[in-house]
């Protein structure tokens, strides 16, 4: 849905703390021509975010050109796990630029081999193959291609169905949106091809039945047998929340896939690289995937994504038949290598686990204080969300969520626009480098903003 932020410059209280500086009108009057130019020359789909013109970003802060500093709770849409502009990543990029080696197409370079080995070493034995790409959508497209190829080649054309979940988001390309669980994103697909089935996601709020029996019953109702299913794909947590799989459900899903030789694909594009207090979010669950889709936080900076998977599945295509023009482009590759080293050396995964209870306590307290307006508090590690609902219902309250988001921006706390069903979820995703006092300050700002919007 479109988010309509107030573009009339408003006088806001002066803020000057260690992590926030707001000393002018918001939005800044001088920024309006830039926003107008974007409206003139970009499609409207690129608009809808808070009207902040980024000039630079360092660590946990975002700056504009007019003296304002925001505490970042977006990580640039869950990209900068190692913080903005980490010195090690910047140094690796400068070294590559000065070399120079900026493009290779399908030709190998040493850093490509190093990164593939590093990523393979993050997964269980037998998942040693890594296909480097550029965007998350490419990984999910390739994963469903590999799952279907595996099923059809091994068992014949009957085993071709891909199962995904209601509410899922796996990207914006054709295949990625066919497996996505949001019908509003599919109206451009005039005739949906067969072989794609969605089942309810057991979030415990909109779907109160969290038993795996619902998965089985939904497939049976659709006339789909285990012998028909080539692959199951799910986000390790659904980005519209974050919505996490119940532990027992996840365990039975993993068992069912193994028993029926179904390729289990975990989409870690948003959830990976320490975000939830585990290196991969699926590690919270009692299952082992066959394919892992990665992106966003893999570099904390430049576009790069990857499919990591079982050797026998990844090696099904002959040389030259599964490639990508910018696969292993040197600049994103060196950024990823530096990023992975930072995550390990600075123990950012462990840091997310340690700070998770701080974030969770703050969000749970808000949900307890406003039970008729906050439907659910969602969190694990350094990702969280509040489902803002209309009083006493489960209906998303997009207007209230936007008002909270906008109020936070005016106070120096920056999040991307509300997400989820009906645009009612306040999404929280600070860099994993966030100090504890900065996280507590952000929670205080969110608490103050919610009180002002709800009038209590």
Share of the chain above pLDDT 90, in %: 90
- When mean pLDDT is compared across 1-5, 13-17, 125-129, 288-292, the lowest value belongs to 1-5
3-state secondary structure of 367: helix
Q: Give the pLDDT of residue 108.
A: 94
What's this model's pTM, rounded to 2 decimal places?
0.95
Cis peptide leading into 242, omega within 30 of 0?
yes
Please tell me the distance from the alpha carbon of residue 140 to that of residue 138, in angstroms, as a whole number.
6
Please tell me the distance from the alpha carbon of residue 379 to that of residue 118, in angstroms, as a whole number.
28
How do residues 346-405 score in pLDDT, each as one tens digit? Answer: 999 999 999 999 999 999 999 999 999 999 999 999 999 999 999 999 999 999 999 999
Asked if 431 contacts 75 with a C-beta cutoff of 8 angstroms, the reply is yes
Residue 49 φ/ψ, nearest 5 degrees: -100, 165
pLDDT above 90: residue 189: no
Both tokens assigned to 318: 């002959």
3-state secondary structure of 282: helix
Q: Give the pLDDT of residue 160.
A: 96
How do residues 418-452 score in pLDDT, each as one tens digit? Answer: 999 899 999 999 999 999 999 999 999 999 999 99
Asked if 179 contacts 196 with a C-beta cutoff of 8 angstroms, the reply is yes
Please tell me the distance from the alpha carbon of residue 220 to that of residue 215, in angstroms, as a whole number.
9
Tell me the average pLDDT across 218-232. Answer: 97
Tell me the average pLDDT across 36-49. Answer: 93
Domain 87-345 class, CATH top level: alpha beta
Both tokens assigned to 270: 């948003």
Enter the CATH code of domain 15-82+348-454.
3.90.1150.10
The Cβ-side half-sphere exposure at 130, using a 13 Å CA radius, reads 24
Q: Give the pLDDT of residue 171.
A: 78
| Annotated domain spans of the chain | 15-82+348-454, 87-345
Please tell me the distance from the alpha carbon of residue 342 to that of residue 370, in angstroms, as a whole number.
39
Q: Give the pLDDT of residue 193.
A: 65
Q: Give the pLDDT of residue 191.
A: 63
Tell me the average pLDDT across 20-48. Answer: 94
Give 10-26 as a DSSP string: B----EESSS-EE-S-B
Q: Where are the beta strands (DSSP E) in 40-165?
A: 56-58, 61-63, 69-72, 129-133, 161-165
């Amino acid at each position: 849905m479109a988010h309509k932020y107030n573009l009339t410059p408003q006088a806001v209280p002066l803020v000057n703390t260690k992590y926030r500086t707001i000393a002018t009108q918001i939005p800044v009057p001088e920024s309006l021509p830039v926003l107008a130019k974007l409206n003139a020359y970009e499609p409207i789909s690129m608009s809808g975010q808070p009207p902040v013109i980024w000039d630079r970003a360092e660590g946990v802060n975002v700056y504009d050109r007019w003296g304002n500093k925001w505490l970042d709770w977006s990580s640039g849409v869950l990209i900068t796990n190692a913080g903005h502009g980490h010195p090690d990543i910047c140094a690796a990029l400068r070294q590559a630029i000065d070399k120079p080696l900026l493009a290779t197409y399908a030709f190998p370079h040493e850093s490509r081999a190093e990164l593939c080995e590093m990523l393979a070493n993050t997964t269980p034995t037998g998942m040693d193959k890594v296909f480097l790409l550029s965007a998350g959508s490419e990984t999910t497209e390739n994963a469903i291609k590999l799952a279907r190829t595996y099923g059809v080649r091994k068992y014949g054309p009957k085993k071709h169905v891909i199962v995904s979940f209601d509410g899922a988001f796996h990207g914006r390309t054709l295949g990625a949106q066919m497996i996505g669980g949001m019908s509003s994103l599919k109206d451009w697909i005039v005739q949906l091809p067969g072989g794609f089935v969605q089942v309810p996601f057991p979030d415990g709020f909109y779907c109160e039945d969290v038993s795996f029996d619902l998965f089985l019953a939904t497939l049976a109702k659709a006339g789909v047998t285990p012998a028909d299913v080539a692959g199951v794909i799910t986000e390790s947590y659904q980005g519209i929340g974050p919505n996490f799989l119940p532990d027992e459900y996840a365990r039975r899903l993993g068992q069912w896939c193994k028993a029926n030789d179904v390729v289990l694909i975990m989409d870690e594009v948003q959830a990976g690289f320490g975000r939830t207090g585990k290196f991969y979010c699926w590690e919270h669950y009692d299952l082992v995937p066959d394919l892992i889709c990665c992106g966003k936080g893999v570099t904390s900076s430049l576009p790069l994504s990857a499919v990591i998977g079982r050797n026998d599945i990844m090696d099904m295509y002959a040389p030259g038949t599964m490639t990508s023009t910018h696969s292993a482009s040197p600049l994103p590759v060196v950024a990823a290598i530096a990023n992975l080293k930072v995550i390990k050396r600075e123990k950012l995964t462990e840091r997310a686990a340690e700070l998770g209870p701080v974030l969770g306590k703050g969000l749970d307290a808000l949900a307890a204080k406003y039970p008729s307006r906050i439907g659910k508090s969602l969190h694990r590690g350094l990702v969280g969300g509040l489902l803002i609902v209309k009083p006493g219902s489960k209906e998303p309250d997009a207007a209230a969520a936007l008002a909270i988001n906008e109020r936070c921006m005016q106070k120096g706390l920056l999040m991307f626009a509300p997400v989820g069903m009906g645009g009612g979820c306040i999404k929280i995703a600070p860099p994993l480098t966030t100090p504890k006092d900065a996280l507590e300050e952000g929670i205080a700002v969110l608490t103050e903003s919610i009180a002002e919007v709800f009038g209590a």
